[in-house]
């Protein structure tokens, strides 16, 4: 497995692979790899001859320096996990490589960045869009694989690629969960005890909404009431948002749900060390069967 630290070198490796007719897949990560990341790697392997994993904790997408400093970093374990999965190449740039002195070029996806996580994390998605664009330029992949847990990020990346006419396929992979239903996240390591148990309120809220819709409920406000009731059963959880949105445009859902609808959640729980909160997100597309049945 090669570890590459500069954009120029990574581009040169990609040029050589492309000249040999080899298909390249990129899995962008911020490290602290878990089974969800490795599922992305496995999907990339199914779609390409060369798998590139980037590991870069992107400072531009953190709105609080303390959150950036607290982000888990497990580089040795991450590299071992990549080797174990047969990854051909790891891109390991430092901050100066991607944001050299005097850096002033940013990419913004205007409307998709506004709601949900964007409403409470100003500038977050500008940092996401910029670093993803830089990673795509560096790795020159034919396909890039992202997790659907970060649904807004996935929608934003797809719009970025479409709007800029980038020649890369964006693949979204279903959320990987722990055995009790909690969505896998690098931030889960900061949870323990009762806070970890109450974190399941997000998955239970998704299940409550799914059950309501399956029973015939189509009123947006009634579905959201079921969601908030489930979250309220976890007193340690502070709800950031619970919203129903169009899965592609992220526009607010209508009063009556008649088409596939994204239920997106974010909640904060106490950190195990008592130093602030852990912010968790989760989502599910309700009425997704309408896509398979050809309705919209």
Q: Which two tokens stand for residue 161?
A: 């690629």
Q: What is the largest CA-CA distance in the chain?
A: 57
* Dist CA 165 CA 129 (whole Å): 14
Q: Which two tokens stand for residue 119?
A: 């409403």
**Cβ atoms of residues 285 and 247 within 8 Å:** yes
CA dihedral angle for residue 263, residue 144, residue 179, residue 271, rounded to 10 degrees: -70
Q: Which two tokens stand for residue 193?
A: 């005890």
Could you tell me the CA-to-CA distances from 154 to 19, 91, 136, 159 in Å, in that order?
29, 21, 14, 9
**Residue in 34, 37, 124, 190 annotated catalytic:** 37
**Cβ atoms of residues 83 and 53 within 8 Å:** no
Q: Has 124 been annotated as catalytic? A: no
List, by residue number, the catalytic residues.
Answer: 37
């Amino acid at each position: 497995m090669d570890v590459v630290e500069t954009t120029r070198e990574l581009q040169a490796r990609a040029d050589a692979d492309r000249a040999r007719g080899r298909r390249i897949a990129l899995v962008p990560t911020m490290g602290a790899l878990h089974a969800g990341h490795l599922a992305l790697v496995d999907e990339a392997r199914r779609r390409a001859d060369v798998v590139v994993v980037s590991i870069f904790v992107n400072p531009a997408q953190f709105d609080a320096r303390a959150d950036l400093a607290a982000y888990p970093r497990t580089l040795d374990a991450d590299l071992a996990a990549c080797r174990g999965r047969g990854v051909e190449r790891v891109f390991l740039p430092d901050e100066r490589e991607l944001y050299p002195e005097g850096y002033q070029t940013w990419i913004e996806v205007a409307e998709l960045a506004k709601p949900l996580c964007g409403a409470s994390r100003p500038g977050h998605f500008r940092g996401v869009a910029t670093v993803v664009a830089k990673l795509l330029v560096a790795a020159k992949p034919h396909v890039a694989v992202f997790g659907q847990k970060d649904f807004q990020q996935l929608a934003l990346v797809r719009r970025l690629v479409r709007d800029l006419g980038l020649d890369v396929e964006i693949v979204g992979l279903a959320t990987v969960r722990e055995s009790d239903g909690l969505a896998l996240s690098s931030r889960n390591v900061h949870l323990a005890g009762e806070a970890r148990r109450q974190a399941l309120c997000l998955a239970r809220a998704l299940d409550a909404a799914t059950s309501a819709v399956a029973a015939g409920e189509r009123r947006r406000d009634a579905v959201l009431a079921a969601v908030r009731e489930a979250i309220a059963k976890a007193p340690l959880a502070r709800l950031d948002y619970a919203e129903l949105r169009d899965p592609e445009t992220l526009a607010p859902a209508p009063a009556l749900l008649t088409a596939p609808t994204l239920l997106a959640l974010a909640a904060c729980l106490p950190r195990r060390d008592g130093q602030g909160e852990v912010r968790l997100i989760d989502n599910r597309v309700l009425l997704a069967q309408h896509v398979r049945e050809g309705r919209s």
